[in-house]
Copies of this chain bind each other. A is one copy, B any other.
Amino acid sequence: MKYSFATRAEWIMGSPFKHIRLNSQQASFVSLAEELPASDLFPLEALHTAATTVLSSHPMALQYGDAEGFIPLREWIRAEWKQHKQMEMNMNQILLTTGSQQAMDLIARVYVDLGDAVLVENPTSPGCLQILRMQGATIIPVEGDQEGLRLQSLDELIERHHPKLLFVSPNFSNPTGVLWSMDRRKQVLDCCRRHKVLIVEDDSYGDLYFEDTRTEGPFSRRYPTLCALDEHGKGGQVLYIGSFSKTVAPGLRIGFAMGHHQLIEVMGAAKQLADWQSSNLNQRLLYQLLESTTFDWHEHVALLRREYRIRLRLMEELLKRPAWRNARYHLPTGGMFLWIQLPGGLQSELLLKSSISKGVAFCPGTLCCVDKKLGMEAIRLNFTHPGRDELLLGMHLISEAVNEFTARS
């Protein structure tokens, strides 16, 4: 039969990473393309212990739970984010989701009508772009610099397009890794408040900072989330999105949204029809882990920070090789990605094709830009997933591919 899909089905076809994933299932393939944390650092043993406790205690762990998520875990998040990130939320302002991706999809579903203007940082994450395409949003990219979004562009674009939403990631934006300055945070918040634009703040990478906090003081005081800056942490102008995918394990699929109870209530209704609820078992596992006396989440994230910093430094060293001579990039101070402008004229998609044939992949910049032309000469490298040997091999293979192109031209 001939299927008559909805119009929006055309807008979302061509899954960004499918081709890359198919290749990366080969044994020796190195993928620097995806948004993967280090598998070798997962708290496997501690989770195993947690599973034993959860599964030997009560069959309710396997039953349907609350659509909004397991109450003790929401309470844990509430207390932790209050103490360490100066965010003042009540329980009815927290919704657990299937990763941060679902939180973004839910706010888009309940907030964006066909044709509504939505602002995004340029470049932005492929996942965010796909969500907004699905809703038929008019996606408007906002340029930024190393301090964050450029205020003048933001202001002009708001005046011109009257957007409903602004999607940002002030703490290590995906893909650029930019960390916004305090001034820029306040200015962007003020600007959106003035124009009544709701900010969606994705803080999935916010705990992965590489600075030495012993000398500098608490990170979250110097780089507070927009949500923490908003009405003394009470939010309203900001829907905050967090995740345990990068700080514990993505296999649990646990993210969350925090914000005004009106937003959370409507998102909760949409969540219920979207999948009834996320896995109650996984939420109990995570809660058991976080509450366990043998696991310390803060120490675990500190371990990730140390190791990821080492991996980034290794990548930095490898980028000093001749192949990358004319490439431009800013070293991020956190997150999982390095965003590179390729040496003159080199096209990211062509380079990807050649790299895949050598056994390595990265994310081409075109997937991160509303207007593909803007990302044609850029690539995103993930430095957290590959172990050090893989990083060496992967970067060596991409360098080889770069060399072949530059030798030709």
Contact = CB atoms under 8 A, between A and B. Distances in A.
A15 B268 contact: yes
Interface string A261-277: 01100101110111111
Interface string A104-135: 01000111111010000000000100110010
A188 to B, nearest CB: 15
Identical chains in the assembly:
2
A1 interface: yes
A262 B399 CA distance: 38
Contacts of A79: none
Interface stretch (A61-69, A298-306, A311-319, A401-409): A61-69
Given A42-B63, A52-B51, A198-B1, A279 B253 contact: yes
Interface stretch (A212-220, A244-252, A320-328, A338-346): A244-252
A6 interface: yes
B109 A273 contact: no
A250 B61 CA distance: 9
Contact of A5 (B5, B110, B273): B110
Nearest to A63: B39
A40 B63 CA distance: 10
B110 A63 contact: no
B3 A274 contact: no
A84 interface: no
Interface residues of A, number: 85
A36 B280 CA distance: 14
Interface string A1-43: 1111111110011110010010000000000001111011010
A144 interface: no
Interface stretch (A94-102, A347-355, A357-365, A388-396): A94-102
A84 B9 CA distance: 33
A134 B131 CA distance: 16
Nearest to A50: B55
A282 interface: yes
A237 interface: yes
A64 B250 contact: yes
13 contacts: A1-B237, A6-B116, A8-B109, A13-B266, A15-B67, A15-B269, A34-B64, A64-B245, A101-B276, A109-B134, A127-B276, A134-B270, A253-B275
